[in-house]
Amino acid sequence: MRIIVFNCGSSSLKYRLIEMPGEKELAGGEAERVGPKTAEPARIHHQVSGRKEIMVVEMPDHATAFAQVMRLLERDPELVPDAIGHRMAHGGPNFKQHVILDDAVMAELERIQELAPIHNPPAVRLVAACRRLYPKLPETVVFDTVFHATIPEVARSYALPPALVAKHGFRKYGFHGTSHQYVAEEAAKLLGVPFDSLNAVSCHLGSGGASLCAIVKGRSLDNTMGYSPLQGLMMSTRSGDLDPAVALTLLVRAAGNGAAVEGLLNRKSGVLGLSGMSADIRDVVARAADGQATDIDQLAVAAQVYLWRIRKYLGAYLTLVGRAHCVIFTDTIGEKVPHVRWAVTAGLQCFGLDIDPDKNDAVRILPADLSKPQSRVRILAIATNEEMAIARFSFALLSHASTQAERIAL
């Protein structure tokens, strides 16, 4: 079965065509600058078997981008998809499992899309476009929140009146679940531990969003993100944890303009807001380290706050997990920035962590164990692969549905 996996951004569309169950990537790429015209033309970076091409084409919306991607794939009969798998950031309170798309699922996706106003609406529009243009192709929807459906009530509850919570659905949902589950499964394989016995802390440190996940017996116990992806760690442009009184004060001073405050906290804060020079922590760390910047004190503070938040949550989650098998670093920063891994774990021998600085600096191929031999808790760097995880979930769903249909027919 050939499954095309879509990861939809506000102005981009990443895709990978994966043959299952062999997990062979057949094609992939990204449509960039989807939407209104920009200074640079919209284009698709397309790759098949190592051969790359760039197609410049107008893509005013994700439906057009999807149609253009399918046109590229349909040039070769061996690259025509049999099914579509979608990544959806937020599943709301009702989607506790990944699903096959139908009318009821589509209606619920449209109803809950404002729970993640940055991530869900373009993805929902893409799902609708795929359904309209290729109605015979089965579609699955894989939610970042599903892995966190096991977070217990004590960890997911906010201290608010129950009637208010029931009315508005205020609770911790958690995010990056697809990535956290994927790297945890890979860690279990690497360590020779059954997944349903694995205790770990997963650190998904992206160049945009970031979160930690406490995992006990292969199940999510807690996640640093909450009702929205705004809570938790300091991120590229998101503030992370913030005293609610700050948000209330901002709202008053913005004369009740909630959109302005939301934009500030989601798009103008975090690493960008605190450093004043870049949304990428790699730029901030490098500039602070060279000692030449005139704003070196502010850059140093930004880097320290970023690391402080991760280290604080790591310690808290190791306490919750108990006897952890490993700490996992993944995504762009977690995989590629040795300084962050070292700064977060150094000196935590009291938690059983003992990082080897030489291994940490030298690693080039993942997965890798960065621990000293005596480290009771292994420190791992594992490349995430959300598209492969989505393909796995989609194949399992569609295979099960096919088996059920065959049984009914008999």
Q: Which residue in this structure is represented by tokens 């046109």? A: 71
In whole angstroms, what is the distance from residue 87 CA to residue 107 CA? 17
Write the CB contacts of 211 (distance below 8 Å, at least 6 apart in sequence): 174, 175, 176, 180, 204, 223, 224, 225, 229, 232, 233
- Decide: 220 and 213 in contact? Cβ < 8 Å: yes
Residue 222 annotated in active site: no
Among the options 144, 331, 354, 369, which is catalytic?
A: 144
Q: Which residues are catalytic?
A: 144
